[in-house]
C-alpha cells in the first residue's frame, strides 16, 4: 500500500502526501522532539525534515520500509539542524560581552555542545545506533530491523560508540583533555 501511495505522492498527488504525513508524522515528529528538546525548535526542524522527506521521495527505492527511510532522514536532518543551531549560538555567544557571569544554563549548554561534538566524531553507524538506542530507546532487535543489520551488529556499534564517547568526554568528567591517553595519566590519590 505504501508503494502506491508513495508513487502517487511522487507524481504530485497532494492527498497522497497528506496521507504519508499523517501516517508517519507522529513517530517522526516524536523522534525530532526527543533529539532537539526545545518544542519550538523541534517544530521548526520537523517542518524542514518533512520538506526534505518530500523532496527526496523520488530517490526512495523501497529497499527498506518508508518509515525507516523517513526516520533516517529525520535523524540526519535533525542532527544537522542542531549543529547549525549550536554554531549560530556559539557565534552569538562570542559576540556577547565577556563580563557576563556564567550561569547554570550556559554550563548545561556547554555540556550539551561537548556531547554533540563528541557524538559527531563517531562513525555514522555507531552514531546512528547510539542515538536510536540510548537517546530514542529502541531495542537492539528494533535497530537491527530498521537498519538492516543484526542485533549483534547493533550491540557492537553501541559498544564502540560508548567507548569512544567515554574517551572523548573524559575531559568533561574528570578534567582530562580529549586527546590525553588515560593510561599515561598519573593516578590521583
Alpha-carbon distance 69 to 153, whole Å? 19
Is a pLDDT exceeding 60 seen at residue 175?
Answer: no
Is a pLDDT exceeding 50 seen at residue 187?
Answer: no
- pLDDT per residue over 8-54, tens digit each? 888 888 898 888 888 888 888 888 888 777 788 888 888 888 888 88
Domains in the chain: ranges and CATH: 1-95 (1.10.1740.10), 105-176 (1.10.10.10)
Alpha-carbon distance 58 to 180, whole Å? 47
3-state secondary structure of 72: helix
Return the pLDDT at 158.
Answer: 92
**In 3D, which of 175, 75, 171, 71 has the Cα closest to residue 118?**
171
Task: Please give the DSSP secondary-structure letter assigned to residue 186.
Answer: P
Q: Give the Å distances, CA to CA, from 113 to 15, 83, 116.
A: 40, 9, 5
- pLDDT per residue over 143-159, tens digit each? 888 788 999 999 999 99
- Indicate the Cα dihedral angle 78, 54, 5, 62, nearest 10°: -60
Is a pLDDT exceeding 50 seen at residue 177?
Answer: no
Return the pLDDT at 49.
Answer: 87
Return the pLDDT at 151.
Answer: 92
Amino acid at each position: 500500500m505504501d508503494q502506491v501511495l508513495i508513487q502517487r505522492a511522487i507524481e504530485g498527488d497532494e492527498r497522497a502526501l497528506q496521507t504519508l504525513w499523517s501516517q508517519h508524522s507522529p513517530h517522526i515528529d516524536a523522534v525530532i522532539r526527543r533529539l532537539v528538546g526545545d518544542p519550538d525548535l523541534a517544530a521548526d526542524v520537523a517542518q524542514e525534515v518533512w520538506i526534505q522527506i518530500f523532496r527526496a521521495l523520488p530517490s526512495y527505492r523501497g529497499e527498506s520500509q518508508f518509515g525507516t527511510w523517513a526516520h533516517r532522514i529525520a535523524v540526519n536532518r535533525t542532527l544537522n539542524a542542531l549543529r547549525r543551531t549550536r554554531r549560530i549560538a556559539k557565534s552569538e555567544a562570542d559576540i556577547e560581552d565577556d563580563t557576563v557571569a556564567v550561569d547554570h544554563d550556559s554550563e548545561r549548554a556547554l555540556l550539551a555542545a561537548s556531547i554533540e561534538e563528541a557524538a559527531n566524531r563517531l562513525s555514522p553507524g555507531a552514531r546512528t545506533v547510539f542515538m536510536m538506542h540510548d537517546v530514542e530507546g529502541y531495542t537492539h532487535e528494533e535497530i537491527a530491523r530498521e537498519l538492516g543489520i543484526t542485533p549483534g551488529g547493533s550491540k557492537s556499534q553501541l559498544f564502540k560508540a560508548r567507548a569512544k564517547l567515554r574517551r572523548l568526554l573524559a575531559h568533561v568528567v574528570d578534567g582530562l583533555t580529549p586527546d590525553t591517553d588515560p593510561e599515561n595519566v598519573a593516578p590521583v590519590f
